[in-house]
Structure 1
Amino acid sequence: MAHNLPEMQVRVCVVGCGISGAGAAAELVKAGHTDLVVVEAMGRAGGRVHTAKQGSSHIELGAHWIHGEDNNCVYEWAMQHCPHAIDKELDFTQTGIGQTTFVNPHGEEVPRDVTDSFQDMMVILDHGDMTDGYNNLAHYYQQQFSEHNKWGSVGWQLLDWHGRFQSLIDGSDSWHSVSAATREEYWECSGNLIINWNNPGYQTLVDHLLDTIGGERVLLNSPVSRIEWGGADGSNSRSCSRCYDSVQSLTSGVQSSLSIATNPAPDDVQRSREEKCAECGRSVEEASDSRKRSQCRVTLPDRVVVADHVIFSGSLGVLKATARHLFQPSLPDAKLRVIDNLGFDTVAKIYLEFSERWWPEDCNGFSFLSDLTTAPPDLIQSWEEQMLGFYTVRQQPLMLIAWICGPSALAMERTPLPEVIARCATVLQTRLAKLCSVTKPVWGTRSVWGSNPYTQGSYSFRSCASDHCDVWAADLAQPLPDIQHPVLCFCGEATHEHYYSTVHGAWESGKREAARLMHHWEHGTSGPAFQWTIG
């Protein structure tokens, strides 16, 4: 039972040590606010950034690229501190575009002039007006394409492939569930949109954040079972930094910021407790009593973390699964409505390694088109039929990567790994029998973001339900109980109003919540409203 567990007292408890949570903690520590702890359910930091060593290089099981340059905090940090760690050269390996061979359902290569002209049309449609009454992203593309298709049935096969490709980009089960009307809410950072990491990969950023925080402030293997987030009025958060320091000093028996002498007389201590703070007007005693009444309690398997503020950085998928029982008191209905209706599905990767390269040197991979004249395959039983294709992997010359999303991705994740490797090998040997002499893979692995209980999906998107319910990422970012009293704060890529689904959005959201708390500690509830400038 939680009441029998030892307690750990801190000013801030950050739940989750992904890029957003670690980013929030790092900002606080850099500013001198070191009285914090980061609790992470998994046995590693990084969250949905997960770099794995393979051979002499690495693979990315989670976030893959730096998306853009201008106003991208990840790119700007890397260029300033470790420019050797990134490769700015435009490289389409692993992406599904570039020098990719499209293969029709009969195992034949689609002519390059057809695929090139199709891709040119997609670029035009990508920049078209999607706000004029389209039900979803698929509706927009299908209607526009029907007016310009000059390739017949192969054109529709290519569009079907493009729909799966777009779902991978958005992180959705299907492009039928993605909003077209509010597409402009996502902002691209100009510059190269697919910047690769050199060895040791995205782990470079994770290590930087951990070094800044300090390992003693991070608790791994510490899943949270309950978050009690204080009084509904948020009274604990009204303490200014001066009051907080005074309470800490009196509690620990050291000299306080209210000029208590070493080994003071009892009367001096009492007078100091009653002395009003010049900043917020409360006495140390009032601040201490208020703090005790409404502190947050975060229950872990081996302890309870007692904190003035909680920054929750878990994924939107985790919130969807746990929000109704994790928090006490319950989250407001408005917050639950946001959690329920923002989009968050699963994208998965499968890596295969071979003893030799059997595909052409000038080929970046193979994209598989589906036969639209027959009944569609079962998304669960025949998940391998929904793979986008297999593509070369940067710095891994004998490796291919397959991408898959939605229910098929979840079905793949639940399939034993040896069977996944075998079924992928069968797809390659069957679909490419006329084009290549495919050999069997000697090694393989896959991501499991959808079935991981501490992520429950990959990244967020603006769904049609988001539009229908008029909920936004900015709503998810709003602290509780309100902006004036940020007791329970939220960060993570899904809380970024314009950079959702990205690592730079995650990191910036963590910086935002750290800045929110520091602004509150400095100005209190009566000061200027907190404002955050994107980028």
Structure 2
Amino acid sequence: MSPLPQKSVSIVGAGVAGLRAASYILQHAPTCRVSIFEANDRVGGRVYTYEKDGWRVDMGANWIHGMEGNPITPIARETGAIFAALEDAAVYPHGLSVPLPRAESEKLFGRTWEVADNAIAYSKENSGRIGADESLFDFAKKDVEEDKDLSKEEKRWVCLLSEFFTNFSAEDVRRLSLKYYFLEEELPGERPYLASTYSPILEAIAKPSLDGGIVRLSTPITHVDASSSHSVTITTMEGTKEAFDAVIIAVPLGVLKKQMITITPSLPTRLQQAIDSLGFGVLEKIFLKFDSAWWLPKDKEKANPPSFHAFLPDPSKPLEPPNVLTLMLSLASLPTGTDIPALAFYIAADQAHYVSSLSDSDLDAWIHSYLRLLPNYSPTQKPTAILKTSWGSDTWSGGGSYTHINTGTKNAVEDIEVLGDGCVHGRMWFAGEHVGTWRGMGTVNGAYESGERAAKGMISALKLGLQTVNDVEDELS
């Protein structure tokens, strides 16, 4: 049977990767018919700004991970993004009712960032010699212990503060691979928080697809059949089948790991191994809104209050929930015009699962165990509204937030390369933050670039007429 008369492309998933793939195809192959199938009732995936009931907060992504060479940077600037530098924290050692002095907190938090930078450099230079079971926390302890500029107490505090990177990677630092920690390296330049939220950026990325009317929301795909020599057929949850020349699968790694979409023929063994091997963690947020930002000094501009509040666990007890580092961000410390009288807890990995399991009364007690440590606290300070994420139980995100590399992993670089190595079964590509290019894993820029890369590969293949699997693979190699 001859190929379909008009080239047609299906994209499964309307997150940043899928949307970028679509916009690239629309621009560079305008004769192609493009259709995006999205299981959710909105576009964006894990880029999601909640804008109801007086809230305007990012439930998912909220950082730009390096401004230089980042494809998100020009979009952010064109849409008038407001950036905030949030790399300071008030540090609260366990047992103290007040934080450490500002200078001491800044010293400790700065040294904590150095731990991550040192780990990335060490991992990059020595990955081949590092044991698969060595963790980021193992490195942190050694790195800090050798620091002659820190007191014994400061060394203990920095080690505990290194749990900060549990939140950045959505996995416990004791389970983050040191061998492959260099894959967490970000692009160069500043690392700003998007005070104005990701919403305008997502709107710009989604505009070509939404204006073109090619997005089908609330349409989960359950099966992709690439066994035909001339087309690929996708099946929706309702049983509708539709044939295309090719498909880009741009769903979260968690969806692939749970095999929520069956693929025929089965994926190559090495590709399935890569999907199984990569870690997929969870980061949750709990937002608390108040009538006023009672924890701030009266003149916040003059006082320059900290962005984060870092509450250290009790080092004499096992470091497991609830006795782990807890991070709280003051949204009232954001630039004027984007600030709101609210606090946001960032909780990840085991702590996220623990807090998500609490009853309302236990959650209230957990929240107030930290609120009472803030300046100007009174038991009468009650949140007027509480907003919680639930990525860990979100079906269409695959029950998680983003990708990381676990201890025990032996071929992480190859795993990521296999996922992004061009077409599978002659008509199928993968895209997403888990297929992120160098310095892109787990980031919005990684998702964006992977979508573009998949689109380029597909356009190249479509121009060949998709003769055979080998023909296509030879052309792309």
Bin of the TM-score, shorter chain as denominator length: 0.7 to 0.9
Q: Supply the AA of the counterpart residue of 1:454.
A: W
**Structural mapping, 1:260-279, within 5 Å:** none
The offset of 1:87, in angstroms, is: 2.3
The alpha-carbon distance between structure 1 residues 103 and 436, as it changes in their structure 2 partners (threshold 3 A), is farther
CA contact (8 A) 1:13 1:305 kept: no
Structure 2, gaps ≥5 residues long: 1-5, 298-303, 466-470
Q: Supply the AA of the counterpart residue of 1:475.
A: V
- Deviations along 1:127-181, one digit per CA (max 9) or x if unpaired, are 3323263612111111121222733345324422322x11111222x11222222
Aligned to 1:449: 391
The offset of 1:414, in angstroms, is: 4.5
2:324 & 2:361 partners in 1: Cα distance?
16
The offset of 1:75, in angstroms, is: 0.8
Residues 1:333 and 2:269 are matched in the alignment = yes
Aligned to 1:406: 349
Residues 1:346 and 2:293 are matched in the alignment = no
Residues 1:426 and 2:368 are matched in the alignment = yes
Q: CA RMSD in A?
A: 2.7
2:362 & 2:257 partners in 1: Cα distance?
28
The offset of 1:99, in angstroms, is: 4.7
The offset of 1:27, in angstroms, is: 1.2
Q: Supply the AA of the counterpart residue of 2:437.
A: E
CA contact (8 A) 2:7 2:31 kept: no
The offset of 1:406, in angstroms, is: 0.6
Match of 1:475 among 379, 397, 418: 418
The offset of 1:493, in angstroms, is: 0.7
1:209 & 1:124 partners in 2: Cα distance?
34
Structure 1 SS opposite 2:387: strand
Aligned to 2:159: 159
CA contact (8 A) 2:219 2:237 kept: yes
Which moves more between the two structures, 21-30 or 469-478?
Answer: 469-478
1:488 & 1:145 partners in 2: Cα distance?
47
**Structural mapping, 1:104-123, within 5 Å:** 104-123=94-113
Q: Supply the AA of the counterpart residue of 1:316.
A: L
1:77 & 1:357 partners in 2: Cα distance?
32
CA contact (8 A) 1:101 1:363 kept: no
1:529 & 1:387 partners in 2: Cα distance?
50
Aligned to 2:82: 87
Match of 2:326 among 388, 397, 403: 388
- Deviations along 1:223-274, one digit per CA (max 9) or x if unpaired, are 122222224xxx32xxxxxxxxxxxxxxxxxxxxxxxxxxxxxxxxxxxxxx
The offset of 1:187, in angstroms, is: 4.4
How many pairs were matched up?
440
Aligned to 2:90: 100
Structure 2 SS opposite 1:396: coil
Residues 1:508 and 2:445 are matched in the alignment = no
Match of 1:357 among 273, 293, 312: 293
The offset of 1:12, in angstroms, is: 1.4
The offset of 1:520, in angstroms, is: 1.3
Structure 2 SS opposite 1:373: coil
The offset of 1:206, in angstroms, is: 2.5
The alpha-carbon distance between structure 1 residues 121 and 99, as it changes in their structure 2 partners (threshold 3 A), is closer
Match of 1:310 among 247, 268, 279: 247
The offset of 1:437, in angstroms, is: 3.1
Residues 1:459 and 2:402 are matched in the alignment = yes
The offset of 1:387, in angstroms, is: 5.7
Which moves more between the two structures, 23-32 or 299-308?
Answer: 299-308
The offset of 1:123, in angstroms, is: 4.1
The offset of 1:57, in angstroms, is: 6.4
Aligned to 2:468: none
Which moves more between the two structures, 506-515 or 470-479?
Answer: 470-479
Q: TM-score, length-normalised on structure 2? A: 0.84
The alpha-carbon distance between structure 1 residues 71 and 51, as it changes in their structure 2 partners (threshold 3 A), is same
Q: Supply the AA of the counterpart residue of 2:434.
A: A
Structure 1, gaps ≥5 residues long: 1-8, 237-290
CA contact (8 A) 1:168 1:347 kept: yes
CA contact (8 A) 1:14 1:311 kept: yes
Q: Supply the AA of the counterpart residue of 2:432.
A: G
**Structural mapping, 1:166-177, within 5 Å:** 166-172=165-171, 174-177=172-175
Identity %: 21
